[in-house]
Amino acid sequence: MTLDGKVPSGPIETRWARHRDHLRLISPANKRRYTVIVVGTGLGGGSASATLAQLGYNVLAFCYQDSARRAHSIAAQGGINAAKNYVGDGDSVYRLFYETVKGGDFRSRESNVYRLAELSGNIIDQCVAQGVPFQREYSGELSTRSFGGALVSRTLFCRGQTGQQLLLGCYQAMMRQASEGRLKVFPKKEMLDLVLVDGEAKGILVRDLTTGEYEAYAADAVVIATGGYASVFNLSTNAVGSNVGAIMRCYKKGALMANPCYTQIHPTCIPFAGWFQSKLILMSESLRNDGRVWVPKKKGDKRPPNEIPESDRDYYLERKYPSYGNLAPRDISSRAAKEACDDGRGVGPSGYAVYLDFRDAIQRHGRKVIEERYGNLFELYDHISGEDPYAQPMKIYPASHYAMGGLWVDYNLMSNIPGLFVIGEANFSDHGANRLGASALMQGLADGYFVLPYTIGDYLATTQPGKVKPDNLEFQKVKEEDEARINRLISIKGSRTVLDFRIELGRLLWENVGMARSEESLTKALEEIPRIREAFWSDLKLTGSEKDLNQQLERAWRLSEALDFAEVLTLDARERRESCGAHFRVEHQTPDGEALRNDAEYTYVAAWEYKGEGEKPEMHKEPLTFEVVQPTVRSYK
Amino acid sequence: MAFLSNPIGKKMLMALTGVILFLFLVAHLLGNTTVLGGPGWINAYAEHIHSAMFAPLLWAARVVLLACLGLHIALGTLLFLENTKAAPTKGTFVTYKEAGLSSRTMFYTGLLILAYLIYHLLHFTLHSVHTSLSVSAFPPDAEGRPDLFRSIALSFQRPGIAGTYLLAMAIVCLHTFHGVFSSLQTLGLPGKASLPVLKRAGQVLATLLAAGFALVPVAVLTGWINL
Amino acid sequence: MRFHLKVWRQEGPEAPGRFFDYDVDDVIPEMSLLEMLDKLNEELIKKGTPPIVFESDCREGICGTCGMVVNGSAHGPQPKTTTCEIRMRHFQDGETITIEPFRAAAFPVQKDLLVERAGLDKVIQAGGYTSAYTGTHADANAILVPKDDQEYAMDAAACIGCGACVAACPNSSAMLFVAAKIAHLGTLPQGMPEEPKRALSMTEVMQEEGFGACSNHFECQAVCPKGIQVETIARLNRAFLKASLKRRA
Ligand SMILES: Cc1cc2nc3c(=O)[nH]c(=O)nc-3n(C[C@H](O)[C@H](O)[C@H](O)COP(=O)(O)OP(=O)(O)OC[C@H]3O[C@@H](n4cnc5c(N)ncnc54)[C@H](O)[C@@H]3O)c2cc1C
Ligand code: HEM
Ligand code: SF4
Ligand code: FES
């Protein structure tokens, strides 16, 4: 299989415009004859369904929550990037593009990233028109702040609730289309499978989470926007329901899984406290604008933080990366925290935490300003930890957060299966081996508002609308398969709970496929995963029936897919024998512990093809070419 | 009609009629204070408002008040039924945080006020209860006016009647304790800063009003006012 | 720590429900209430008893999925917290904790603690948006927004649509939810033009969906995890009045 990314050529500044101008269009009168399924109602799926419906398509939107507004995009705190150069600090589309390519450690497609940077400004205009209350200055103009990996201030935000406000913008646009009848939202319906007819994506099978019934939905194209897979680590900043199920089912139907080993560990989360925890809570990266990260200089220094004098503190990010300091990118900050803790200088009961200190910022700006900037984050921290961050530093530690990898898509955001589009965090497209802060929101909205609505028309124009109906035999076949799989889960009647297995898998991955990976640890994980999977399929205990509201069953189904996914992830991590971005192979590091890339051999996208249960998937390579930015050693010193 | 089918519309009319009724009570109270001035004052006041000159005004006021009362009762009952339907049960262990006795008993205190109102009208306006104490049972006062003062004083000298009126005033107080501020809120008056102030003011006003009404029976009972 | 729980359990929307008693031992003070229920559920499953059904997703107080009545208060006794944010260290060791679903005619119980809240989506469909198309718009800085207005809009926009206000309201009214959306959009220049329509139709649909009217009890404000103020309701009432007068004219 050769992978054609359909990347346009020519000057990068005009690639998207030229490409867009040559896409096929469907006449307004014909659009209503087409139906598009959108799975997921986060920033990706929400913006896409609202826009497609507005254009005149019939849209069916699905999510597993009880309302479209609850997709996990809602939890994004810090902000969204836009190359607006509002504060005149030298920002430009080019600079955003450059920083994103560099931040991704030269493992992303230049054309995609350029398009993203180009669209970033429109997104903000769009959101403001929808009534998103971005933070403003006394002049009435928009405020900005800085995020990790950037030397300019280009991040727009709504206090610490940016994702919420952007998602409400999408959700409200969806509700408007729903009231006009072109969009139908199906909450509490979980996509169990993709249905292919003659090799093209023509529908999905869902399970109604309230009744347990299977339902078939047919369409002319299917858009997957089901978010990331950071939850395979069990403890992550994702929602407890976030899962890899939908994209795994597409993978098993032939869609390629690209770069699954690129998983981001976020440096600033409330530290791990025990296996009873159901998730780890993020403290927005924006806090690093004003907070200073440090650990005691001496090992095992148990003094309360406020009693440790300046001379005994190691502001290690400022020391190691003087030009970016506390705003070093995530992968780098996370590793530095791990290093300090592994060195015995971590704080908190477990010794796996570092301080994020606002003392100096409060002294400089006053409590009121800090409250205005981060009030709700401080409140959240106080709620969870019972400590007042105004009075003593926060304790933070890295946690699994984001998936750069995902289903492979071309420049049109279509996977290798015709008619199957993938947007938002679910695809692999724009962030390379590491995502910079505040650019996932940008990507989700760019995909859904401004890219997919054009590119999907190009595919639809080649198809005859309404060709496939839900009574097509393929739906029946898929339903039988999935029903059998679910019944199998129910009928195991073993002794261990879903959560038990979820923790076992998550722990294995965190310890062996987490922030530091080695040939040895990855090989170990590859041996262990099948063992856990086997135990899962022979010793799982569920209660209740499948034809009912059964939350344990939902979780079991999701975990069954995560178990299969974990293997691809680990395999990809083992085969990539270099360090790049968030993928850190201990064998490949510079003398001072930085990631050591191997451009000669690994400048490619690894896209994995499913070969059947128990078979080793096959890797296809999409070579990456850099015409505009020359890959260099990524330095933040 | 669209206005009235809307939940806010209904509430606004409720508030408007409530305010009018409350304003009537304020006027009524001002009239009542004349009792404290002795027989000369109140009897003169009563004769005045019943005089030919004021009759049309009095009737107009009565019609308006009756209409308000009718609307207020009808809408209040409708809202009560709708709200009860919307909230069949609130669970077993509900703890209220801001809603007080006053706000939660509006319908019941309203009904009690209605009952009291009927009794009150039968007593002082239609003279069909306590006939031995009604003005018609007494000779005119020194200036030939109906001797309302005597009727009031003798009525309230009976602890049963005075007690009923005092109880009724407590109920009016309870109703308006929430009602006065509630109507301002419904009519959209409060702003961010003024809301707590208005709330407190409404409660004070309601208490003062009821206390004012209670003054007369109390004054009679304590012998401060006597014949 | 150990706790005695009284948990409402109900098979389905039509089935009668009742309280069940459970004891949970070895609770860690750092645990969240939901993590304690997770733990209890693990024990129940191992015994072969169906676990307690309750919903949650983000578990950090922003998605609005979770929501139960804990010790008689929607989202528990602590102010400005969601159910998922409650930590066990706020309870007394050995305490009895009662847990019930949100109750309102508009929120039928599906199972145990899980209720259906689709009515809130319907209310937003009735106008809780600006009708801006996806497309090209004026630059985001072209229309200035006074900072105070933006802050006020943001305060209101913080609503997470959890429905606690409905659950706490003796009338099961959704006024605070509606008022928050109207205050958010109506304060911004982009949302102002549609305010009259919004004020009229959202409140109408609120009633159609089975929510009660507002009696100004203010229980909603007391439980709202995001601190939405009842002052927004006064603002909504004004907007409604203006819109009604305009419609007349
Ligand atoms: C705590 C946190 C903070 C973040 N902060 C920032 C930030 O400040 N800036 C930034 O740029 N990015 C941030 N991110 C990243 C960003 O929020 C996400 O990458 C992005 O929102 C993902 O959007 P999405 O639309 O792809 O997926 P999601 O918002 O996760 O939506 C997934 C949707 O898919 C549905 N779904 C999933 N599986 C199924 C199925 N099987 N059947 C049916 N429906 C299904 C879900 O119901 C949901 O509607 C943050 C992420 C987290 C977790
Ligand atoms: C002189 C007598 C009365 C006065 C001064 C009065 C005053 C008020 C006022 C000011 C309100 C507040 C309106 C609002 O919340 O916006 C109110 C509410 C109410 N009144 Fe009265 N009222 C009187 C008699 C009655 C009677 C006889 C009833 C009989 C049913 C009644 C039933 C109610 C009810 C049910 C409400 C609450 C409506 C709601 O908020 O849902 N009232 N009243
Ligand atoms: S107003 Fe408050 S209580 Fe009501 S839905 Fe919004 S956040 Fe929840
Ligand atoms: S689970 Fe998201 S708010 Fe509680």
Q: Give the residue extent of every domain in chain B.
A: 2-221
Secondary structure of residue A489 in the 3-state scheme: helix
Burial class (CB in 10 A: 0-12, 13-18, 19+), B56: exposed
Same domain, C136 and C49: no
Mean pLDDT estimate for chain C: 96
pLDDT of B92 above 80: no
Name every chain C residue with its beta carbon within 8 A of the beta carbon of B83: 170-173, 212-213, 215
Count CB atoms within 10 A of the CB of residue B36.
13
C220 in the same domain as C200: yes
Please work out whether the CB of residue A448 comes within 6 Å of at least one atom of ligand 1: no
pLDDT, tens digit, for every residue of B124-176? 988 889 988 988 889 998 888 889 999 999 999 999 999 999 999 999 999 99
- If residue A125 lies in a helix (H) or strand (E), which one and from where to where? helix A110-129
Is the Cβ pair C118, A124 closer than 8 Å? no
Residues of chain C in contact with residue A140, where contact means CB-CB under 8 angstroms, are 144-147
Q: Which residues pair with A489 in a beta bridge?
A: none
C20 Cβ partners below 8 Å, 6+ apart?
C6, C7, C8, C9
Average pLDDT over residues B31-49: 88
Task: Kindly give the distance from the C-alpha atom of residue A239 to the centroid of ligand 4, in angstroms, as a whole number.
Answer: 9
Chains that touch C (3 or more CB pairs under 8 A): A, B
Domain count, chain C: 2
| CA atoms of B106 and A23, how far apart (whole Å) | 66
Query: Does C140 sit within 8 Å of A125, measured CB to CB?
Result: yes
CB pairs under 8 A between B and C: 148
Model pLDDT, residue C249: 66
Q: Which residues contact B210 (CB under 8 A, 6 or more apart)?
A: B169, B170, B172, B173, B176
According to DSSP, residue A182 is labeled S
Distance of CA C68 from the midpoint of ligand 3 (Å): 13
Query: Confidence band (pLDDT; 50, 70, 90) for A310?
Result: very high
C and B: touch, per 3+ CB pairs < 8 A?
Answer: yes
What are the tens digits of pLDDT across the range A393-430?
Answer: 999 999 999 999 999 999 999 999 999 999 999 999 89
Quick count: other Cβ atoms within 10 Å of Cβ B81? Answer: 11
Which domain-ending residue is among C111, C141, C171?
C111
Active-site positions of A?
A: 330
| Subunit contact C38:A187, Cβ cutoff 8 A | no
Nearest CB among C32, C55, C130 relative to A129 is that of C130
Q: Which residues of C touch B185 (CB under 8 A)?
A: 216, 230, 233-234, 237
pLDDT at B21 over 90: yes
Listing DSSP states for B2-59 in one string gives HHHHSHHHHHHHHHHHHHHHHHHHHHHHHHHGGGGG-HHHHHHHHHHHHSTTTHHHHH
Extended beta strands in A43-198, E state: 58-62, 80-81, 155-156, 183-186, 189-197
- Average pLDDT of span A229-246: 97
Type of residue at A443: Q
Q: Which atom of ligand 1 is nearest to the CA of A41?
A: 49
Lowest-confidence pick of B29-33, C111-115, C182-186, C188-192: B29-33
Please tell me if the CB atom of residue C32 comes closer than 6 angstroms to any atom of ligand 4: no
Determine the straight-line distance between the first and last CA of chain A, rounded to whole angstroms: 41
Residues C146, C97, single domain; the answer is: no
- Are the CB atoms for C221 and C229 separated by under 8 Å? yes
Is A549–C53 a contact, with Cβ atoms under 8 angstroms apart?
yes
Q: How far apart are CA B13 and CA C133, in angstroms?
A: 38
Instruction: Say how far apart CA A348 and CA A341 lie, in whole Å.
Output: 10
Task: Report which bound ligand comes closest to the CA of C61.
Answer: 4
For residues C122 and C239, state if they share a domain.
Answer: yes
A469-525 confidence digits (pLDDT tens): 999 999 999 999 999 999 999 999 999 999 999 999 999 999 999 999 999 999 999
pLDDT at C169 over 90: yes
Give the ligand whose atoms come closest to the C-alpha of residue B28.
2
Q: Is C212 on the interface with B (CB under 8 A)?
A: yes
Same domain? For C71 and C33 the reply is yes
Proximal ligand: closest to the CA of B105: 2
Instruction: Kindly report the number of other CB atoms within 10 A of residue C39's CB atom.
Output: 18
Average pLDDT value for residue range B52-65:
91
Shared domain for C223 and C133, answered yes or no, is yes
**CA A618 to CA A597: how far, in whole Å?**
23
Last residue of a domain, one of C111, C136, C155: C111
Query: Do residues C221 and C243 both lie within one domain?
Result: yes
CATH code at position C79 = 3.10.20.30
Alpha-carbon distance of A492 to A495, in angstroms, equals 9
DSSP state letter for B181: H
Separation between Cα atoms, residue B34 and residue B44, nearest integer Å: 9
Element (H, E) at A121: helix A110-129
- pLDDT at position A67: 98
Please tell me the distance between residue A549's alpha carbon and the centre of ligand 3 in angstroms: 26
Closest chain C residue by Cα to residue A76: C62
Enter the tokens of residue A216: 């078939």
Assess whether the C-beta atom of C59 lies below 6 angstroms from ligand 4.
Answer: yes
Is C151 found in the same domain as C45?
no
Average pLDDT, chain A: 96
Check whether residue C133 and residue C42 sit in a common domain: no
Strand partners, A264: A402
| Residues of chain B found within 8 Å of residue C100, distances taken between Cβ atoms | 91-93
Residue range of the domain that includes C61 = 3-111
CB distance from C39 to chain B under 8 Å? no
End-to-end Cα distance, chain C: 65
Place of tokens 């209350």: A133
The pTM assigned to this predicted structure is 0.96
Q: Which chains touch A (3 or more CB pairs under 8 A)?
A: C
Say if residue C100 is in the same domain as residue C191: no
Distance CA C173, CA C214 (A): 6
Residue C160 belongs to domain with CATH number: 1.10.1060.10
Mutate to test the interface with A, among C62, C85, C87, C111 (most CBs of A within 10 A): C62
The arithmetic mean of pLDDT across residues C214-236, rounded, is 97
Of A70, A128, A495, the CB nearest to C64: A70
| pLDDT at residue B90, rounded to an integer | 75
Does residue A593 have a pLDDT over 80? yes
Going by C-alpha positions, the residue among C54, C60, C88, C90 that lies closest to residue C226 is C60
Indicate if the pLDDT at residue B53 is higher than 90.
no
**The pLDDT value given to residue A398:** 96
Condensed to tens digits (0 to 9), the pLDDT of residues C196-221 reads 999 999 999 999 999 999 999 999 99
Residues 74-133 on C with a CB inside 8 Å of A are 80-81, 85, 87, 89, 110-111, 114, 116-118, 120-121, 124-126, 128-133
Q: Which of C111, C146, C174 is the last residue before a domain boundary? A: C111
Who lines ligand 3 at CB under 6 A?
A: C 159-165, 176-177, 180, 224-226, 228
Residue type at position B59: W
Position A284 scores a pLDDT of 87
